[in-house]
A and B are shown apart, each in its own frame.
Chain A
Amino acid sequence: MATTLDMAMNQGEADKGDGVPVVAVENLEKSFGSHNVLDGVSLSVNRGETLAVLGRSGTGKSVLLRVIIGLEKPDSGTVRIQGQDIAGLALDQMGAIRMKMGFLFQHAALYDSLTVGENVAFPLEHHRRDMSRRERGERVRQLLGEVGMEGDVAKMPSDISGGMQKRVGLARALALEPEILLLDEPTAGLDPISSGEIDELILKLQHEHQMASIVVTHDLHSAKTIANRLALLDRGKVVIAGTFQDLQQSEIGFVKEFLRQS
Protein backbone atom coordinates (compact mmCIF):
# COMPACT_ATOMS: atom_id res chain seq x y z
CA MET A 1 0.00 0.00 0.00
CA ALA A 2 1.46 3.39 -0.96
CA THR A 3 2.29 5.65 1.95
CA THR A 4 1.21 9.24 2.09
CA LEU A 5 4.79 10.17 1.21
CA ASP A 6 4.85 7.91 -1.86
CA MET A 7 1.57 9.35 -3.13
CA ALA A 8 2.81 12.88 -2.62
CA MET A 9 6.10 12.19 -4.40
CA ASN A 10 4.34 10.54 -7.30
CA GLN A 11 1.87 13.39 -7.51
CA GLY A 12 4.70 15.85 -7.74
CA GLU A 13 6.39 13.93 -10.51
CA ALA A 14 3.12 13.42 -12.42
CA ASP A 15 2.30 17.12 -12.27
CA LYS A 16 5.57 18.18 -13.86
CA GLY A 17 6.01 15.24 -16.19
CA ASP A 18 9.75 15.07 -15.40
CA GLY A 19 11.43 11.68 -15.24
CA VAL A 20 14.07 12.54 -12.64
CA PRO A 21 13.48 14.81 -9.66
CA VAL A 22 15.87 17.75 -9.49
CA VAL A 23 16.50 17.03 -5.79
CA ALA A 24 15.97 13.56 -4.36
CA VAL A 25 16.82 12.62 -0.79
CA GLU A 26 16.52 8.95 0.21
CA ASN A 27 16.74 7.44 3.69
CA LEU A 28 18.90 10.26 4.97
CA GLU A 29 20.36 9.85 8.44
CA LYS A 30 22.42 12.39 10.34
CA SER A 31 23.43 12.47 13.98
CA PHE A 32 25.40 14.91 16.08
CA GLY A 33 26.89 12.86 18.87
CA SER A 34 24.05 10.85 20.36
CA HIS A 35 21.40 13.20 18.98
CA ASN A 36 19.69 11.64 15.95
CA VAL A 37 18.63 14.67 13.92
CA LEU A 38 17.58 13.02 10.66
CA ASP A 39 16.33 9.46 10.85
CA GLY A 40 15.52 8.11 7.41
CA VAL A 41 14.24 11.22 5.62
CA SER A 42 13.11 10.80 2.02
CA LEU A 43 11.68 13.50 -0.21
CA SER A 44 12.00 14.90 -3.71
CA VAL A 45 11.44 18.12 -5.59
CA ASN A 46 10.85 18.67 -9.29
CA ARG A 47 11.61 21.61 -11.53
CA GLY A 48 9.28 24.54 -11.00
CA GLU A 49 8.00 23.07 -7.74
CA THR A 50 8.26 24.47 -4.23
CA LEU A 51 8.38 22.07 -1.29
CA ALA A 52 7.96 23.51 2.18
CA VAL A 53 9.55 21.53 5.01
CA LEU A 54 7.79 22.18 8.28
CA GLY A 55 8.31 21.03 11.82
CA ARG A 56 8.99 22.11 15.34
CA SER A 57 12.25 23.76 16.26
CA GLY A 58 15.11 21.31 16.49
CA THR A 59 13.61 18.64 14.24
CA GLY A 60 16.40 18.81 11.68
CA LYS A 61 14.86 21.06 9.02
CA SER A 62 17.92 23.31 8.65
CA VAL A 63 20.26 20.32 8.86
CA LEU A 64 18.36 18.80 5.93
CA LEU A 65 19.09 21.87 3.80
CA ARG A 66 22.73 21.91 4.90
CA VAL A 67 23.08 18.27 3.86
CA ILE A 68 21.51 18.98 0.47
CA ILE A 69 23.97 21.79 -0.25
CA GLY A 70 26.84 19.72 1.14
CA LEU A 71 27.72 21.77 4.22
CA GLU A 72 27.09 18.63 6.29
CA LYS A 73 27.87 15.04 5.32
CA PRO A 74 25.11 12.52 5.99
CA ASP A 75 25.82 9.43 8.08
CA SER A 76 23.91 7.34 5.55
CA GLY A 77 21.44 7.71 2.71
CA THR A 78 21.71 9.44 -0.62
CA VAL A 79 21.29 12.99 -1.85
CA ARG A 80 20.88 13.23 -5.61
CA ILE A 81 21.04 16.53 -7.43
CA GLN A 82 19.78 16.07 -10.99
CA GLY A 83 20.49 12.37 -10.65
CA GLN A 84 24.04 12.71 -9.24
CA ASP A 85 24.74 11.41 -5.75
CA ILE A 86 26.61 14.14 -3.90
CA ALA A 87 26.93 12.54 -0.48
CA GLY A 88 30.49 11.35 -1.02
CA LEU A 89 31.83 14.31 -3.00
CA ALA A 90 34.81 16.34 -1.70
CA LEU A 91 34.80 20.12 -1.36
CA ASP A 92 36.27 20.90 -4.79
CA GLN A 93 33.98 18.38 -6.48
CA MET A 94 30.95 20.12 -5.00
CA GLY A 95 31.70 23.37 -6.82
CA ALA A 96 29.90 22.54 -10.04
CA ILE A 97 26.88 21.22 -8.10
CA ARG A 98 26.69 24.26 -5.86
CA MET A 99 26.74 26.62 -8.80
CA LYS A 100 23.34 25.20 -9.71
CA MET A 101 22.01 26.05 -6.27
CA GLY A 102 21.17 29.24 -4.45
CA PHE A 103 21.02 29.21 -0.65
CA LEU A 104 19.36 31.80 1.57
CA PHE A 105 20.58 31.43 5.15
CA GLN A 106 18.30 32.04 8.09
CA HIS A 107 20.10 35.23 9.06
CA ALA A 108 21.12 36.02 5.46
CA ALA A 109 24.83 35.53 6.26
CA LEU A 110 25.85 38.64 4.30
CA TYR A 111 29.59 39.37 4.22
CA ASP A 112 29.77 42.23 6.68
CA SER A 113 32.94 43.75 5.24
CA LEU A 114 31.33 44.14 1.80
CA THR A 115 28.59 46.50 0.64
CA VAL A 116 25.18 45.29 -0.47
CA GLY A 117 26.28 45.51 -4.10
CA GLU A 118 29.55 43.70 -3.43
CA ASN A 119 27.68 40.95 -1.61
CA VAL A 120 25.44 40.31 -4.60
CA ALA A 121 28.41 40.56 -6.96
CA PHE A 122 30.43 38.01 -4.98
CA PRO A 123 29.29 34.87 -6.88
CA LEU A 124 29.60 36.71 -10.19
CA GLU A 125 33.16 37.84 -9.46
CA HIS A 126 34.23 34.29 -8.73
CA HIS A 127 32.29 32.37 -11.36
CA ARG A 128 31.52 34.80 -14.17
CA ARG A 129 34.97 36.18 -14.90
CA ASP A 130 33.87 36.48 -18.51
CA MET A 131 31.64 39.38 -17.49
CA SER A 132 33.08 42.86 -17.63
CA ARG A 133 32.82 45.11 -14.60
CA ARG A 134 30.03 47.06 -16.30
CA GLU A 135 28.08 43.88 -17.06
CA ARG A 136 28.48 42.72 -13.49
CA GLY A 137 27.26 46.07 -12.23
CA GLU A 138 24.21 45.88 -14.44
CA ARG A 139 23.45 42.34 -13.32
CA VAL A 140 23.79 43.38 -9.66
CA ARG A 141 21.41 46.29 -10.19
CA GLN A 142 18.96 43.98 -11.97
CA LEU A 143 19.08 41.45 -9.13
CA LEU A 144 18.66 44.09 -6.46
CA GLY A 145 15.82 45.56 -8.49
CA GLU A 146 14.05 42.19 -8.45
CA VAL A 147 14.10 42.22 -4.66
CA GLY A 148 13.34 45.91 -4.27
CA MET A 149 16.78 46.95 -3.03
CA GLU A 150 18.17 48.79 -6.05
CA GLY A 151 18.67 52.01 -4.08
CA ASP A 152 20.86 50.40 -1.42
CA VAL A 153 23.82 49.21 -3.47
CA ALA A 154 26.42 51.15 -1.48
CA LYS A 155 25.06 50.41 1.98
CA MET A 156 26.75 48.04 4.41
CA PRO A 157 24.79 45.07 5.81
CA SER A 158 24.88 46.62 9.26
CA ASP A 159 23.05 49.68 7.88
CA ILE A 160 19.97 47.75 6.74
CA SER A 161 17.21 45.90 8.57
CA GLY A 162 16.84 42.13 8.93
CA GLY A 163 14.16 41.99 6.27
CA MET A 164 16.30 43.97 3.88
CA GLN A 165 19.25 41.70 4.59
CA LYS A 166 17.11 38.72 3.61
CA ARG A 167 16.19 40.44 0.35
CA VAL A 168 19.87 41.03 -0.39
CA GLY A 169 20.61 37.42 0.57
CA LEU A 170 17.92 36.32 -1.86
CA ALA A 171 19.40 38.47 -4.62
CA ARG A 172 22.83 36.94 -3.93
CA ALA A 173 21.34 33.45 -4.04
CA LEU A 174 19.90 34.18 -7.49
CA ALA A 175 23.09 35.69 -8.92
CA LEU A 176 24.15 32.61 -10.89
CA GLU A 177 20.60 31.84 -12.09
CA PRO A 178 20.36 28.64 -10.07
CA GLU A 179 18.12 25.75 -10.96
CA ILE A 180 17.60 24.92 -7.28
CA LEU A 181 16.78 27.38 -4.51
CA LEU A 182 17.13 26.49 -0.84
CA LEU A 183 15.59 28.88 1.67
CA ASP A 184 16.19 28.48 5.41
CA GLU A 185 13.43 30.17 7.40
CA PRO A 186 13.06 33.11 5.01
CA THR A 187 10.50 34.87 7.20
CA ALA A 188 11.93 34.05 10.63
CA GLY A 189 12.16 37.07 12.87
CA LEU A 190 10.20 39.31 10.52
CA ASP A 191 6.98 41.18 11.25
CA PRO A 192 3.83 39.94 9.47
CA ILE A 193 3.97 42.66 6.80
CA SER A 194 7.62 41.98 5.98
CA SER A 195 6.92 38.25 6.01
CA GLY A 196 4.13 38.74 3.51
CA GLU A 197 6.42 40.81 1.30
CA ILE A 198 9.09 38.10 1.35
CA ASP A 199 6.45 35.46 0.51
CA GLU A 200 5.22 37.50 -2.44
CA LEU A 201 8.79 38.00 -3.59
CA ILE A 202 9.50 34.27 -3.44
CA LEU A 203 6.31 33.53 -5.38
CA LYS A 204 7.19 36.11 -8.04
CA LEU A 205 10.74 34.81 -8.42
CA GLN A 206 9.53 31.23 -8.52
CA HIS A 207 7.06 32.10 -11.26
CA GLU A 208 9.73 33.92 -13.28
CA HIS A 209 12.64 31.53 -12.83
CA GLN A 210 10.85 28.16 -12.52
CA MET A 211 13.37 26.77 -10.05
CA ALA A 212 13.01 23.71 -7.85
CA SER A 213 12.75 25.18 -4.36
CA ILE A 214 12.89 23.80 -0.85
CA VAL A 215 11.75 26.18 1.86
CA VAL A 216 12.35 25.32 5.50
CA THR A 217 9.92 27.12 7.74
CA HIS A 218 7.86 26.78 10.88
CA ASP A 219 5.40 29.34 9.51
CA LEU A 220 2.43 27.37 8.18
CA HIS A 221 0.78 30.44 6.69
CA SER A 222 3.92 31.21 4.70
CA ALA A 223 4.23 27.59 3.62
CA LYS A 224 0.63 27.53 2.38
CA THR A 225 1.28 30.71 0.40
CA ILE A 226 4.43 29.76 -1.44
CA ALA A 227 4.56 25.95 -1.59
CA ASN A 228 3.01 23.39 -3.95
CA ARG A 229 3.64 20.63 -1.41
CA LEU A 230 4.44 20.49 2.26
CA ALA A 231 6.46 17.91 4.22
CA LEU A 232 6.13 17.76 8.00
CA LEU A 233 9.11 16.54 10.02
CA ASP A 234 8.96 15.15 13.53
CA ARG A 235 11.86 13.56 15.41
CA GLY A 236 13.94 13.26 12.27
CA LYS A 237 11.29 11.59 10.14
CA VAL A 238 8.85 12.79 7.48
CA VAL A 239 5.46 12.27 9.07
CA ILE A 240 3.49 13.37 6.02
CA ALA A 241 4.14 15.00 2.64
CA GLY A 242 1.52 16.36 0.29
CA THR A 243 -0.63 19.36 -0.40
CA PHE A 244 -2.10 21.45 2.39
CA GLN A 245 -5.41 19.68 1.81
CA ASP A 246 -3.67 16.34 2.38
CA LEU A 247 -2.40 17.63 5.72
CA GLN A 248 -5.83 18.92 6.68
CA GLN A 249 -7.41 15.54 5.87
CA SER A 250 -4.74 13.54 7.72
CA GLU A 251 -5.75 11.51 10.76
CA ILE A 252 -2.19 11.48 12.17
CA GLY A 253 -2.25 12.96 15.66
CA PHE A 254 0.94 15.01 15.32
CA VAL A 255 -0.27 16.56 12.06
CA LYS A 256 -3.58 17.54 13.60
CA GLU A 257 -1.83 19.03 16.61
CA PHE A 258 0.64 20.95 14.40
CA LEU A 259 -2.17 22.42 12.31
CA ARG A 260 -4.17 23.25 15.38
CA GLN A 261 -1.28 25.11 17.02
CA SER A 262 -0.20 26.98 13.89
Chain B
Amino acid sequence: MSDRGTIDVASLDAPLTERGNMPSAIGRVTGLVGAFFAWFGNLGIFSWKVLKAALTPPYEWRELIRQLDEVGSKSFPLVALAGASVGVIISLEARYSLSRFGAKSMFPVTLVYTVIQVMGPIITGLVVSGRVGAGIGAELASMKVSEQIDAIEASAVNPYRLLAATRILACILMLPLLVIASDACGLLAGWFAQTLVEPLSFHQFIASGFRGATFSAFLPPTFKTMVYGLIIGLIACFQGMNTRGGAEGVGRAATNSVVLGSLFLILADVVMVKFILVVFP
Protein backbone atom coordinates (compact mmCIF):
# COMPACT_ATOMS: atom_id res chain seq x y z
CA MET B 1 0.00 0.00 0.00
CA SER B 2 1.27 3.45 -0.83
CA ASP B 3 1.38 6.30 1.67
CA ARG B 4 -1.98 7.56 0.35
CA GLY B 5 -3.67 4.18 1.22
CA THR B 6 -4.09 3.02 -2.39
CA ILE B 7 -2.82 -0.26 -3.74
CA ASP B 8 0.62 -0.12 -5.33
CA VAL B 9 0.22 -2.01 -8.62
CA ALA B 10 3.97 -2.52 -8.96
CA SER B 11 3.97 -4.49 -5.72
CA LEU B 12 1.81 -7.14 -7.35
CA ASP B 13 4.95 -8.48 -9.06
CA ALA B 14 6.84 -8.58 -5.79
CA PRO B 15 7.68 -11.90 -4.10
CA LEU B 16 4.88 -13.65 -2.27
CA THR B 17 6.19 -12.73 1.14
CA GLU B 18 5.85 -9.07 0.30
CA ARG B 19 2.47 -9.31 -1.37
CA GLY B 20 0.78 -11.21 1.42
CA ASN B 21 0.05 -14.84 2.25
CA MET B 22 -3.03 -15.70 0.18
CA PRO B 23 -1.27 -17.60 -2.68
CA SER B 24 0.91 -19.57 -0.22
CA ALA B 25 -2.18 -20.35 1.86
CA ILE B 26 -3.95 -21.65 -1.24
CA GLY B 27 -0.85 -23.68 -2.03
CA ARG B 28 -0.88 -25.15 1.45
CA VAL B 29 -4.55 -26.06 1.21
CA THR B 30 -4.15 -27.70 -2.19
CA GLY B 31 -1.10 -29.52 -0.87
CA LEU B 32 -3.11 -30.83 2.07
CA VAL B 33 -5.96 -31.91 -0.18
CA GLY B 34 -3.48 -33.68 -2.45
CA ALA B 35 -1.85 -35.40 0.50
CA PHE B 36 -5.28 -36.44 1.78
CA PHE B 37 -6.19 -38.14 -1.49
CA ALA B 38 -2.69 -39.59 -1.87
CA TRP B 39 -3.06 -41.21 1.56
CA PHE B 40 -6.32 -42.82 0.53
CA GLY B 41 -4.80 -43.91 -2.76
CA ASN B 42 -1.87 -45.58 -1.00
CA LEU B 43 -4.25 -47.19 1.48
CA GLY B 44 -6.23 -48.58 -1.43
CA ILE B 45 -3.10 -50.02 -3.06
CA PHE B 46 -2.05 -51.52 0.26
CA SER B 47 -5.50 -53.04 0.78
CA TRP B 48 -5.38 -54.64 -2.66
CA LYS B 49 -1.97 -56.17 -1.98
CA VAL B 50 -3.18 -57.57 1.34
CA LEU B 51 -6.36 -58.96 -0.19
CA LYS B 52 -4.43 -60.65 -3.01
CA ALA B 53 -1.96 -62.10 -0.53
CA ALA B 54 -4.71 -63.28 1.84
CA LEU B 55 -6.49 -65.21 -0.92
CA THR B 56 -3.31 -66.86 -2.29
CA PRO B 57 -1.78 -69.92 -0.65
CA PRO B 58 0.23 -70.90 1.28
CA TYR B 59 -1.84 -69.61 4.16
CA GLU B 60 -0.23 -68.52 7.39
CA TRP B 61 -2.45 -70.48 9.80
CA ARG B 62 0.03 -70.57 12.65
CA GLU B 63 0.53 -66.83 12.58
CA LEU B 64 -3.25 -66.30 12.34
CA ILE B 65 -3.83 -68.38 15.46
CA ARG B 66 -1.11 -66.44 17.26
CA GLN B 67 -2.78 -63.18 16.29
CA LEU B 68 -6.22 -64.42 17.34
CA ASP B 69 -4.74 -64.95 20.79
CA GLU B 70 -2.95 -61.61 20.73
CA VAL B 71 -6.00 -59.62 19.61
CA GLY B 72 -8.70 -61.64 21.32
CA SER B 73 -7.74 -63.26 24.57
CA LYS B 74 -5.18 -60.63 25.54
CA SER B 75 -7.70 -57.82 24.98
CA PHE B 76 -10.41 -59.56 27.00
CA PRO B 77 -9.52 -58.20 30.47
CA LEU B 78 -9.44 -54.60 29.25
CA VAL B 79 -12.60 -54.99 27.19
CA ALA B 80 -14.42 -56.68 30.09
CA LEU B 81 -13.46 -53.90 32.45
CA ALA B 82 -14.50 -51.23 29.96
CA GLY B 83 -17.79 -52.98 29.33
CA ALA B 84 -18.51 -53.34 33.03
CA SER B 85 -17.75 -49.67 33.61
CA VAL B 86 -20.07 -48.63 30.81
CA GLY B 87 -22.80 -50.86 32.25
CA VAL B 88 -22.50 -49.22 35.66
CA ILE B 89 -22.52 -45.72 34.17
CA ILE B 90 -25.60 -46.42 32.06
CA SER B 91 -27.29 -48.05 35.04
CA LEU B 92 -26.73 -45.02 37.24
CA GLU B 93 -27.73 -42.51 34.57
CA ALA B 94 -30.72 -44.50 33.31
CA ARG B 95 -32.14 -45.08 36.77
CA TYR B 96 -31.98 -41.37 37.53
CA SER B 97 -33.50 -40.29 34.21
CA LEU B 98 -36.21 -42.93 34.16
CA SER B 99 -37.21 -42.20 37.75
CA ARG B 100 -37.78 -38.55 36.86
CA PHE B 101 -40.28 -39.56 34.18
CA GLY B 102 -41.91 -42.34 36.21
CA ALA B 103 -40.56 -45.03 33.90
CA LYS B 104 -38.46 -47.09 36.31
CA SER B 105 -39.95 -50.27 34.92
CA MET B 106 -38.22 -49.50 31.63
CA PHE B 107 -34.82 -49.79 33.29
CA PRO B 108 -33.98 -53.36 32.19
CA VAL B 109 -34.87 -52.84 28.54
CA THR B 110 -33.13 -49.46 28.49
CA LEU B 111 -29.93 -50.95 29.85
CA VAL B 112 -30.05 -53.98 27.54
CA TYR B 113 -30.71 -52.03 24.35
CA THR B 114 -28.27 -49.22 25.15
CA VAL B 115 -25.43 -51.59 25.98
CA ILE B 116 -25.92 -54.06 23.14
CA GLN B 117 -26.99 -51.73 20.35
CA VAL B 118 -24.97 -48.60 21.06
CA MET B 119 -22.38 -48.41 23.82
CA GLY B 120 -21.01 -51.92 23.84
CA PRO B 121 -19.86 -51.95 20.20
CA ILE B 122 -18.44 -48.43 20.09
CA ILE B 123 -16.66 -48.58 23.45
CA THR B 124 -15.20 -51.99 22.65
CA GLY B 125 -14.11 -50.74 19.26
CA LEU B 126 -12.37 -47.70 20.72
CA VAL B 127 -10.68 -49.72 23.47
CA VAL B 128 -9.43 -52.31 20.98
CA SER B 129 -8.32 -49.54 18.60
CA GLY B 130 -6.21 -48.13 21.40
CA ARG B 131 -4.69 -51.37 22.56
CA VAL B 132 -4.47 -53.45 19.41
CA GLY B 133 -4.13 -50.63 16.90
CA ALA B 134 -1.24 -49.05 18.74
CA GLY B 135 0.38 -52.42 19.32
CA ILE B 136 0.18 -53.48 15.68
CA GLY B 137 1.27 -50.07 14.43
CA ALA B 138 4.26 -49.93 16.74
CA GLU B 139 5.29 -53.55 16.17
CA LEU B 140 5.21 -53.35 12.39
CA ALA B 141 6.81 -49.90 12.37
CA SER B 142 9.65 -51.19 14.53
CA MET B 143 10.08 -54.15 12.17
CA LYS B 144 10.07 -51.79 9.19
CA VAL B 145 12.78 -49.45 10.50
CA SER B 146 14.99 -52.37 11.58
CA GLU B 147 14.67 -54.04 8.11
CA GLN B 148 12.91 -57.10 9.51
CA ILE B 149 10.12 -56.72 6.96
CA ASP B 150 12.75 -56.52 4.20
CA ALA B 151 14.34 -59.66 5.64
CA ILE B 152 10.96 -61.43 5.48
CA GLU B 153 10.58 -60.40 1.86
CA ALA B 154 14.17 -61.40 1.06
CA SER B 155 13.36 -64.84 2.50
CA ALA B 156 10.72 -65.20 -0.24
CA VAL B 157 7.86 -64.87 2.26
CA ASN B 158 5.10 -62.40 1.41
CA PRO B 159 5.00 -59.85 4.26
CA TYR B 160 1.48 -58.76 3.30
CA ARG B 161 0.31 -62.33 3.87
CA LEU B 162 2.37 -63.10 6.97
CA LEU B 163 2.08 -59.80 8.81
CA ALA B 164 -0.88 -57.79 7.52
CA ALA B 165 -3.48 -60.31 6.42
CA THR B 166 -3.21 -62.36 9.61
CA ARG B 167 -3.54 -59.33 11.86
CA ILE B 168 -6.44 -57.83 9.93
CA LEU B 169 -8.29 -61.15 9.83
CA ALA B 170 -7.70 -61.63 13.55
CA CYS B 171 -9.20 -58.19 14.26
CA ILE B 172 -12.22 -58.94 12.04
CA LEU B 173 -12.89 -62.27 13.73
CA MET B 174 -12.24 -61.22 17.31
CA LEU B 175 -14.14 -57.92 17.51
CA PRO B 176 -17.64 -59.50 17.58
CA LEU B 177 -16.52 -61.94 20.27
CA LEU B 178 -14.99 -59.16 22.33
CA VAL B 179 -18.17 -57.12 21.94
CA ILE B 180 -20.24 -60.05 23.20
CA ALA B 181 -17.92 -60.30 26.19
CA SER B 182 -18.11 -56.56 26.77
CA ASP B 183 -21.90 -56.59 26.52
CA ALA B 184 -22.17 -59.46 28.97
CA CYS B 185 -19.95 -57.69 31.48
CA GLY B 186 -21.85 -54.45 30.94
CA LEU B 187 -25.24 -56.04 31.56
CA LEU B 188 -23.97 -57.94 34.58
CA ALA B 189 -22.34 -54.88 36.11
CA GLY B 190 -25.35 -52.70 35.28
CA TRP B 191 -27.73 -55.16 36.88
CA PHE B 192 -25.48 -55.41 39.94
CA ALA B 193 -25.34 -51.61 40.30
CA GLN B 194 -29.13 -51.46 40.13
CA THR B 195 -29.56 -54.33 42.59
CA LEU B 196 -27.48 -52.49 45.18
CA VAL B 197 -30.07 -49.72 45.21
CA GLU B 198 -33.27 -51.56 44.40
CA PRO B 199 -33.24 -55.38 44.52
CA LEU B 200 -34.00 -56.96 41.18
CA SER B 201 -33.43 -60.62 40.44
CA PHE B 202 -31.18 -61.42 37.56
CA HIS B 203 -33.84 -63.63 36.03
CA GLN B 204 -36.39 -60.81 36.16
CA PHE B 205 -33.85 -58.39 34.76
CA ILE B 206 -33.08 -60.64 31.76
CA ALA B 207 -36.74 -61.50 31.17
CA SER B 208 -37.73 -57.82 31.18
CA GLY B 209 -34.73 -56.62 29.25
CA PHE B 210 -35.08 -59.07 26.40
CA ARG B 211 -38.86 -59.15 26.24
CA GLY B 212 -39.98 -58.97 22.64
CA ALA B 213 -36.42 -58.85 21.41
CA THR B 214 -35.51 -60.51 18.14
CA PHE B 215 -32.17 -61.56 16.73
CA SER B 216 -32.33 -58.70 14.23
CA ALA B 217 -32.27 -56.26 17.16
CA PHE B 218 -28.97 -57.51 18.49
CA LEU B 219 -27.07 -59.43 15.84
CA PRO B 220 -26.46 -56.54 13.36
CA PRO B 221 -24.98 -54.22 16.02
CA THR B 222 -22.71 -57.04 17.17
CA PHE B 223 -21.54 -58.16 13.75
CA LYS B 224 -21.06 -54.63 12.45
CA THR B 225 -17.98 -54.68 14.64
CA MET B 226 -16.33 -56.90 12.03
CA VAL B 227 -16.09 -53.68 10.03
CA TYR B 228 -14.49 -52.05 13.07
CA GLY B 229 -11.94 -54.84 13.10
CA LEU B 230 -11.21 -54.33 9.43
CA ILE B 231 -10.67 -50.60 9.98
CA ILE B 232 -8.48 -51.05 13.07
CA GLY B 233 -6.33 -53.78 11.53
CA LEU B 234 -6.02 -52.21 8.09
CA ILE B 235 -5.03 -48.75 9.26
CA ALA B 236 -2.61 -50.06 11.89
CA CYS B 237 -0.89 -52.39 9.41
CA PHE B 238 -0.76 -49.66 6.75
CA GLN B 239 0.74 -47.14 9.14
CA GLY B 240 3.25 -49.64 10.50
CA MET B 241 4.46 -51.11 7.23
CA ASN B 242 4.91 -47.68 5.65
CA THR B 243 6.89 -46.14 8.47
CA ARG B 244 9.97 -44.06 7.87
CA GLY B 245 12.22 -42.20 10.24
CA GLY B 246 13.49 -44.38 13.08
CA ALA B 247 12.13 -44.06 16.60
CA GLU B 248 10.14 -40.94 15.78
CA GLY B 249 8.53 -42.78 12.89
CA VAL B 250 7.60 -45.69 15.15
CA GLY B 251 5.95 -43.34 17.63
CA ARG B 252 4.12 -41.55 14.86
CA ALA B 253 2.89 -44.86 13.42
CA ALA B 254 1.55 -45.98 16.79
CA THR B 255 -0.19 -42.67 17.41
CA ASN B 256 -1.64 -42.43 13.92
CA SER B 257 -2.88 -46.02 14.12
CA VAL B 258 -4.94 -45.17 17.18
CA VAL B 259 -6.11 -41.73 16.11
CA LEU B 260 -7.03 -42.60 12.54
CA GLY B 261 -8.41 -45.99 13.51
CA SER B 262 -10.68 -44.45 16.14
CA LEU B 263 -11.77 -41.63 13.85
CA PHE B 264 -12.67 -43.88 10.92
CA LEU B 265 -14.34 -46.31 13.29
CA ILE B 266 -16.70 -43.62 14.56
CA LEU B 267 -17.38 -42.33 11.05
CA ALA B 268 -18.09 -45.87 9.87
CA ASP B 269 -20.46 -46.35 12.78
CA VAL B 270 -22.51 -43.37 11.65
CA VAL B 271 -22.97 -45.00 8.26
CA MET B 272 -23.60 -48.48 9.64
CA VAL B 273 -26.16 -47.38 12.22
CA LYS B 274 -28.18 -45.77 9.46
CA PHE B 275 -27.73 -48.83 7.25
CA ILE B 276 -28.92 -51.18 10.03
CA LEU B 277 -31.93 -49.01 10.78
CA VAL B 278 -32.91 -49.16 7.11
CA VAL B 279 -32.24 -52.84 6.49
CA PHE B 280 -33.45 -54.09 9.88
CA PRO B 281 -36.24 -51.66 10.83
Name A residues whose Cβ lies closer than 8 Å to a Cβ of B.
66, 69-71, 91-92, 94-99, 101, 103, 105-107, 109-112, 122-123, 126-127, 129, 172
Contact = CB atoms under 8 A, between A and B. Distances in A.
Interface of B: 49, 56, 58, 142-143, 146-148, 150-158, 160
Contacts of B156: 94-99, 123, 126-127
Given A91-B158, A92-B56, A109-B150, 11 more contacts: A71-B154, A91-B153, A98-B153, A98-B154, A98-B156, A103-B154, A105-B154, A107-B146, A111-B152, A123-B157, A129-B58
**Per DSSP, are chain B's interface residues mostly helix, strand or loop, or mixed?**
helix
A105 B150 contact: yes
B154 A101 contact: yes
Contact of A71 (B143, B146, B150, B157): B150
Contacts of A70: 153
A98 B151 contact: no
A91 B153 CA distance: 8
A112 B158 contact: no
A126 B155 contact: yes
A170 to B, nearest CB: 13
A66 B153 CA distance: 11
Top 6 A-B pairs, shortest CB-CB distance:
A98-B156, A109-B151, A109-B147, A103-B154, A95-B156, A99-B156
A111 B151 contact: yes
Given A98-B154, A98-B155, A122-B155, A111 B148 contact: yes
Nearest to B60: A126
Contacts of B157: 122-123, 126
A94 B154 CA distance: 9
A73 B148 CA distance: 19
B151 A69 contact: no
A95 B53 CA distance: 13
A254 to B, nearest CB: 30
A109 B146 contact: yes
A109 B148 CA distance: 5
Contacts of B143: 111
Contacts of A172: 155
Contacts of A94: 156
A61 to B, nearest CB: 16
Nearest to A182: B154
Contacts of B58: 126, 129
Residue of B143, B153, B155 ringed by the most chain A CB atoms within 10 A: B155
